[in-house]
Structure 1
Amino acid sequence: MSLKDKTIEELEEIEEELNEQEEDHGFSNYSMKIEVYKEMYRKLSQLVRSRNEDVQSSLDYVKRKLIYCLIHYGTYLKTEYQKDDYLATRCLEEALKYDKTNPLAAYRLGFLSYKFNDYTKAIQYFQNALDNDHYHKQHLYHLNEQQQLNAHLYLTNCALHIAKETYEKMNQLPQAKTQKIPKQELSPLFSSLIENEQYLMRHAFYKVNKEGRTTCSKAECEKLIASPPHDTLLVYFSDRTIMAFFNGKEASLTQDQGNMLSYFLLNSSEDVPATRHDFSVVDTIIPNTYITNVSRLRRKLVQQGIPSMILTKRYQNETGYYYDGSYPFYIMYRSDEEIEYR
């Protein structure tokens, strides 16, 4: 029986089964969750259209969960350890379909379009992102200041790329050789294009530790990994994978594990350890699921030769975990991919 033939109650049971599987196997079937939420959304939308306003809150809740999965996990649907830009594009487009005013989804689509040299489409997405961010300031997925600046630079670069390509094509036309086409002084514009590209490259990544956050280039991240400081944990969200490095040892992490480890490093302490509620963004995480997920993360790090630095402590009647501060660390990730709403 397909999901379309299921009732809302049966779909909720499938969602519960998927949550239980996460506890058993240590990872979520986000691809299946997305399909379940889509069908829930379709059925609840039909009820709302038939003037059953009692289900509006349920529809809004399902929409939140659907968009969260599409934005956070769309890039990892194929494999939980490696990004897929084409899957990410498809999921972000779907997120915009369900939430047309989402600034971050439009911004990321602009970034991916720019990456694929589709400058016309990139202009549309970046402008959409800036407009959404301006007119919907309270949106859960708003842009941070770096993303706002980058969006303007990307917009400028897209226009310059299109101008350059158009000028080159125009000069190849037969008519251009027989008629006196005005010579365009494009050198200053191309200089601006190069300068903007260099700026974006220099500030492509965030490098974060306990002292604060700075921007750096991808090359600087890779240089730090190639020649790391002794007894220092490095967590690198690269363009393809998420890795943890320590004294020549390395561990491949899922997105959930990378996010969890980063949260412990930056936001937990012995006085205020992180509980499951810190990770319950749109859904309340089951206590056993949280404990199991943290245990798998800690075990993976230790098995790969990375010392234990996440400790356990009861906090507000919950199992909490915190970074013990035994080693310094750096977390590196693309500034374009930061999500303000976590």
Structure 2
Amino acid sequence: MSLRDKTIVELEEIEEELNEQEDEHGYSNFSMKIDVYKEMYRKLSLLVRQHNEDVQSSLDYVKRKLIYCLIHYGTYLKTEYQKDDYLATRCLEEALKYDKTNPLAAYRLGFLSYKFNDYTKAIQYFRNALENDQYHKQHLYQLNEQQQLNAHLYLTNCALHIAKETYEKMNELPLAKTQEIPKQELSPLFRSLIDNEKYLLEHAFYKLNNVERTTCSKAECERLISRPPHDTLLVYFGDRTIVTVFNGEEATLTQDQGNMLSYFLLNSSEAVPATRHDFSVVDTVIPNTYITNVSRLRRKLIQHGIPSMIQTKRYQNETGYYYDGSYPFYIMYRSDEEIEYR
């Protein structure tokens, strides 16, 4: 029986089964979860159109979970450990179908279009991102200041790339060789293009610890990973994978594990440990699920030769965890992206 033939109650049961499998195996079938949420959204939408207003809150809740999965996990659907730009594009496009004013989805689509040299499409996405960010101030997925700045730089570069390509094509036309046409002085604009590209490259990543946050290039991040300082934990959200490195030992993390470790490093302490409520973005995290996920993260780090730095403490009647400060650390991730739990 296909999902389309299931009732809403049966779909909720499938969602619960997927959550239980996550607890048991340590990873989620987000491809299946997205399909379940899509079908739940379709059925609930029909009920709302039939003036069944009692289900509107359920529809809004399912919509939030669906968009969350499409934006945050769409890029990892094929594997928990490796990003896929083309898959991410499809999922972000779907997110905009359910939420046309989502600034972050439009921004990331603009970034991916620019990356693939589709400057016309990138202009459309960056404009939408900035307009949505301006006119929908309370949106859950607002752009940060760096993303706002980058969007303007990308927009400028898209226009310059298109002008450059158009000018070059115009000079190749037969009439351009026989008729006197206006000579475009584009050199200053090309210099602006180069300067903007240089800025975007040099500020492509954040490098931060519990004291400061600076920007740097991807090359600088990779140099640090290849020659890590002694007794220093590095967490690198690369373009393909998320890795943590310590004294030559390396472990590949899932997106959830990378986000969780980063949150512990940046936002927890013995006085205020992180509880499951700190990770309840669109849904309540079950206590056992939280404890299991942290245990898996700690076990993975230890198995890869990374010493225990995350300690346990009871806090406000909840199991909490905190970074004990035993080693310095750096977290590196693209300034175009948001770490989920910051």
What does 1:87-102 correspond to in 2, within 5 Å?
Answer: 87-102=87-102
C-alpha separation between the residues in 1 aligned to 2:340 and 2:259?
A: 13
Q: In the TM superposition, what is the alpha-carbon distance from 1:247 to its structure 2 partner?
A: 0.5
C-alpha distance in structure 1 between counterparts of 2:251 and 2:305, whole Å: 9
Answer yes or no: is the 8 Å Cα contact 2:259–2:340 preserved in 1. Answer: no
CA–CA separation in structure 1 for the residues paired with 2:266 and 2:234: 13
* 1:333–1:228 Cα change, 3 Å: same
Please give the residue correspondences for 1:55-94 in structure 2 after superposition, counting only pairs within 5 Å: 55-94=55-94
Counterpart contact for 1:251–1:304, Cα < 8 Å: yes
SS for the counterpart of 1:104 is: helix
| Superposition deviation, residue 227 in structure 1 | 1.8
CA distance in 2, matches of 1:29, 1:49: 30
**Does the residue aligned with 1:330 lie in a helix, a strand or coil?**
strand
How far off is 1:223 after superposition?
1.3
Q: Secondary structure at the match of 1:285?
A: coil
Matched residue type, 2:236:
Y
Look up the match of 2:122: 122
2:169 aligns to what?
A: 169
Counterpart secondary structure, 1:314: strand
Moved more, 158-167 or 286-295: 286-295
- What does residue 253 of structure 1 align with? 253
State how far apart, in whole Å, the 1-side matches of 2:170 and 2:283 are. 55
Q: Give the aligned residue type for 1:11.
A: L
Question: Hey, what's the Cα distance between the residues in 1 that align with 2:339 and 2:3?
Answer: 31
Match of 2:284 in 1: 284
* Residue-pair matches, total: 342
Cα distance change of structure 1 residues 79 and 258 upon mapping to structure 2, 3 Å threshold: same
Q: What CA distance in whole angstroms lies between the structure 2 residues aligned with 1:291 and 1:124?
A: 43
> Which residue does 1:7 correspond to in 2?
7
Distance, in Å, in 1 between the alignment partners of 2:338 and 2:164 is: 31
Quote the sequence identity (%): 88
State the alpha-carbon separation in 2 of the partners of residues 341 and 171 from structure 1: 51
- Structure 1: which 4+ aligned runs deviate by more than 6 Å? none
CA RMSD, 1 decimal = 1.0
Q: Where do 1:104-115 residues align within 5 Å? A: 104-115=104-115
Answer whether contact 1:144 1:340 (CA < 8 A) is retained. Answer: no
**SS of residue in 2 equivalent to 1:258:** helix
Bigger Cα displacement from structure 2, 314-323 vs 157-166:
314-323
Q: What secondary structure does 2:73 align onto?
A: helix
Distance 1:245 1:315 in 2: 30
Distance 1:243 1:124, change over 3 A: same
TM-fit CA distance, 1:303: 0.5
Partner of 1:235: 235
What is the CA-CA distance between 1:164 and the residue it aligns to? 0.3
**Judging changes above 3 Å, is the alpha-carbon distance between structure 1 residues 340 and 150 closer, same or farther for their aligned structure 2 residues?**
farther
Residue type of the partner of 1:219? Answer: A
Query: How high is the TM-score relative to the length of structure 1?
Result: 0.99
Deviation larger for 218-227 or 197-206: 218-227
SS at match of 2:336: helix
Contact 1:143–1:340 (Cα < 8 Å) also in 2:
no
Instruction: Name 2:316's counterpart in structure 1.
Output: 316
Please state how far the C-alpha of 1:340 moved relative to its aligned partner: 7.2
Q: Provide the rounded CA distance (Å) in 1 between the counterparts of 2:339 and 2:304.
A: 29
1:148 equivalent to 2:134? Answer no
Please state how far the C-alpha of 1:341 moved relative to its aligned partner. 8.1
Preserved contact between residue 235 and residue 331 of structure 1 (Cα < 8 Å): yes
Equivalent residues in 2 for 1:197-212, closer than 5 Å = 197-212=197-212
Q: State the secondary structure of the residue aligned to 1:337.
A: coil
Partner of 2:180: 180
Counterpart position of 2:225 = 225
Does the CA-based 8 Å contact 1:242-1:254 persist in structure 2? yes
Report the residue type matching 2:146 in the other structure: Q
Structure 1 match to 2:19:
19
Q: Which has the higher contact order (CA 8 A, sep 6+)?
A: 1
1:339 Cα deviation from its structure 2 partner: 5.5
1:51 aligned onto 2:32:
no
2:242–2:258 Cα contact (<8 Å) kept: yes
Which residue identity is paired with 2:36? V
Shift of 1:286: 1.4
Q: Do the aligned partners of 1:141 and 1:339 also contact (CA within 8 Å) in 2?
A: no
Q: Distance in 2 between matches of 1:199 and 1:307?
A: 37
Amino acid at match of 1:40: M
Q: TM-score if structure 2 supplies the norm length?
A: 0.99
Gap change, CA 1:341 and 1:307, over 3 Å in 2: closer
